[in-house]
Structure formats: C-alpha cells, structure tokens
Amino acid sequence: MNIIIAGAGKVGYMIAKHLMVHNDVTIIDKNEDAIKKIEENLDVLAVCGDIENPHTYLSVDSEIDLFIGVTDSDEVNMIASLIIDKITKVNKKIIRLKNSFFADDLVKERLGINDFVIPAFEAAQPFKYLVDFPIVRNVKSFDYTKALLVSIKIPSDFKSTIISSLTEELGHKIIAIGIERNGEFYIPNEVDMLNPDDLIYFYAYPKAIKELQSKIYPEDDERYNIRNCVIFGADELGLEIAKVLIKKDLNIQIVDRDLKKCEKANLILKDKVTVIKSTYDSDHMLESDGITPDIFIVASGNDEFNITKCMEARDYGIHKVITINNDIAYSKLMRNLGLEVIRGEKINAYYSILEKIESSKIVIKRQFCGGEGILMLRKIFATSDLIDSSPRISSKVESIGIFFIQRNSEILLFNTIETFLEDDLIIVIGRNENAETLSNWIHQI
C-alpha cells in the first residue's frame, strides 16, 4: 500500500516502523529532530514540512491507499485530512482524536474519514469489566460476539492442572489462547498444564469467566469486594477511567499534583468523585480518612512513576493495583513485576490504528500479551460462499496456529464441524510473527 502518515511523534514513528516492511510509507512533520530520527532509523520517506500547508503534499502520488493523522492536535489532523483530499485521491483515512466531541458520524461523513481513534476513551473501556471480573488483569471486546479476551494471573498456591480439565468443566464456552510463563509467551494446547504464577489468556463468554474466577480464587477472596477506588492522574485518561467507574457505583478519588487539572476534573466530573490535589505521597493518601482502596490505578504519563507507585500500593496490601503502560519498552517489565497493565493513550492509538488497518468488515484482529499473540475472527455472513462448504486447512497453516468455530454460544474445535453455517465465527490464534500467513488464510479460506 501507498501510505501517508501526518505526525512523526511516538505514535507516528511506531506505526511507520510497523508498516514500512510491506508498504511505501511517507511520514510528514515540521519537527526537524523527529524527521531526522526517522531518516536515521526507518526505511520510509520522511518529509519535513507543515502538515497544514497544502504545498507540503504536492509531491505525493496521484492516489494513495491510506492516510493516517496522528499529530497531537485534533484540529490539525482534521485539516490535514481535508487538504490531502484536495491534493490526491485517498482510498481510506484514519484520524486520531483527543476530544470525543469530534467523533461524530456527521463529522466523519463530511470529512470523508473512515475511522476515528480516541485513545483516552478506548483505553478506559476495559475498566468497566475489571469490576465485574475482579481477578481479570485485562479485557478486550469484539464486534459480532459477547465473548471477551481476558488475562488472568494464576495464584502461587494454585495446584497445577491440565488446561482441558479446567475448560471442559465450563462447557464449550471458553478456550485458552496464550500463556506467559517465566517471561516467555507461547500458544497452549489442551493437554498443556496450567501452573502457579502463569499469566494465562482466555477467550470466553462472560458467564464462563465468572465461573472460572471461583475455580481459581476462593469466593471469599478480598479481590471480589470492590467499593473504593483511587486514581492517580487527572489527565484525559484518568477522567475517562473515572467516567467508566462512576457507572459501577464506586467511591472514587482522583489525585493529581496539578491544581489546574484538579479544577478541570471537578468541573467535568462534578460531585460524582472526590478530587484531591496532592504531591503523590501514596502512603499518606492510602491512610487518609481511614479509607483503603480496593482498586488502585496509576494513570500518569510516566511509566517509571507508575511502576513505583503501583509497587508501593501493592506492598501496602491493596490487592487490585493497575498501572497504565505508555511506552512499549516497559510493557514486559511491568508484566514480569506482576503488575496489572492497561495500555495508555499512545500505545492504544498505535494498536488501535494497526488493528483497524489489518481488520475489515469480515475479519477482526486483536493483539495481546504486549503484541506477541494475535487473535482473528471472521464472521460468516448470509452472502458468504463458505456456507455449506467443508472446513479446510493446510498442514503449513495448521502448524502455526490454533483454530476454532464459534457457533450458537459454543466454541468448537475447527476440525469437529462438517460444514460452515451462517453466523459462524472462525477463530484463529497464533504468534504475531506468523500474522501475515494466518491473516492470508482467514481472508482467503
């Protein structure tokens, strides 16, 4: 594909690095240092110029496949999307937004934008599940199904068991799709063992997740009792997290050292949360008013700070401690430290844009475990040629993934069905290094 990226910050850099392997990528920014870094490290065309100036785009081809606007300004991204339309024919446009006000269907239609990505809003959405499923570390949802992708840390005193014996007890409502053990990620099969301290990923229906909780953690575990919440950080993401948790009827405190951010939080959230200006003294905050948080979230933009404060809170005795990951370089370290990790705005923007590029109306793609694992879903619509045909898979493809069919609220092994039916979901799980082969298969089957 011929791709133009407006914005050479951290998100633009990461997207360009990923897409340059199989595409012709041009990245534009007026920041000379950012452009120089890209020229030195990436195999893309880096253009130093004003994204809002039409003359910057005069050298681009007469047709491009994809335009991506990822500057830090909503207005600049939208203006750039209009300018590029006047310069060349654009087949698809994806824009990052900070303000959800602009993410309106009317705006999308008038600007000819195919997809918006709103990182703060999207990064906050997993929190609505983390109260319902207290032992779950992270959650991803999908179109076309109520099933979720969840990660669970197995306790140290858990008795090792065969994965199939655990999932069979829950019927055909859950499958194990990945394990991170001793810092290594792999795709399990049904005869593999589930061991203490494993971080395991399941694709499952909500009811099965609730049943699974009671099999891994005792029902009287303190993790299930979530009433009080402290959020460190009153940036956009902290506010979006608070909005989600307000609907769960929790007692919420937001803490920030910046008075202006505290005033903004008070204005937006009104009397629904308690906003406190503080110097981030965790011990003092945890002891204030005699309230001990049941869930403690550090949502600053500094990963090192987030790690430190989460470790302090965990040492204090809080069971559910969640850190926001802003830099991919810290992702594995955070998991190795046993922290619950949710993607921050920049990482969320990066993965969301890639997933929108690599997904379609037919196939949905999600990455998990720091991007090491992939899960793809293909829905069989009424017009599909696959209906009534028999499943087929080559040995080459079968050796690098695991395959299932989701049908009528059941998740079945791929090779156990005779023919495809309307509304079936084909499920493919594999390692990200095999993503291209698996993606080609699920699109072409």
Q: Residue 160's pLDDT band (boundaries 50, 70, 90)?
A: very high
**What confidence tier does 162 reach under pLDDT thresholds 50, 70, 90?**
very high
> Which position has the higher pLDDT, 146 or 191?
146
pLDDT grade, residue 318 (50/70/90)? confident
Phi, psi of 27 (to 5 degrees): -125, 135
Angle subtended at Cα 440 by Cα 371 and Cα 387, rounded to the nearest 5 degrees: 115
Cα distance between residue 111 and residue 81, in whole Å? 7
pLDDT digits (tens, 9 = 90+) for 70-99: 999 999 999 999 999 888 898 999 999 988
Which residues are CB-neighbours of 125 under 8 A, at least 6 positions away? 141, 244
pLDDT of residue 426: 96
Q: In what order do the strands lie in the sheet with 45-48?
A: 45-48, 24-29, 2-6, 66-69, 93-96, 115-117
What's the pLDDT score for residue 388?
94
Average pLDDT, the chain: 89
Q: What is the pTM of this model?
A: 0.87
The CA-based angle 96-257-252, given to 5 degrees, is 75
Q: What is the mean pLDDT of residues 108-122?
A: 88
Task: Please report the pLDDT score of residue 316 as a whole number.
Answer: 84
Per DSSP, helices labelled H in 365-434 are 395-398
- Say if strands 2-6 and 66-69 run parallel, antiparallel, or are unpaired: parallel
CA atoms within 13 A on the CB side of 405: 19
Residues linked to residue 325 through DSSP beta bridges, in sequence order? 343
CB–CB of 209/136 below 8 Å? yes
Asked if 6 and 94 touch (Cβ cutoff 8 Å), the reply is no
Given pLDDT bands bounded at 50, 70 and 90, which one contains residue 140? very high
Res. 360 pLDDT band, cuts 50 70 90: confident
Residue 421: the pLDDT is: 95
Average pLDDT over residues 12-32: 93
Answer with the residue of higher pLDDT: 131 or 403: 403
Angstrom distances, CA of residue 411 to CA of 191, 325, 377: 17, 32, 12
**Which pLDDT belongs to residue 213?**
86
Mean pLDDT over 364-390 rounds to 92
Share of the chain above pLDDT 90, in %: 59
pLDDT band at 361 (very low <50, low <70, confident <90, very high): confident
Q: Is the model's pLDDT at 222 over the cut of 80?
A: no
Q: By percentage, how much of the chain surpasses pLDDT 70? A: 96
Q: How confident is the model at residue 139 (pLDDT cuts 50, 70, 90)?
A: very high
Q: What is the rounded CA–CA span in Å between residue 398 and residue 376?
A: 14
Domains of the chain (ranges; CATH) run 2-117 (3.40.50.720), 226-349 (3.40.50.720), 350-444 (3.30.70)
- pLDDT over threshold 90, residue 102: no
Q: How confident is the model at residue 149 (pLDDT cuts 50, 70, 90)?
A: very high
Token pair, residue 428, equals 């493919």
Task: Name the token pair of 159.
Answer: 């008795």
Q: At what angle do helices 32-41 and 10-19 cross, to 10 degrees?
A: 20
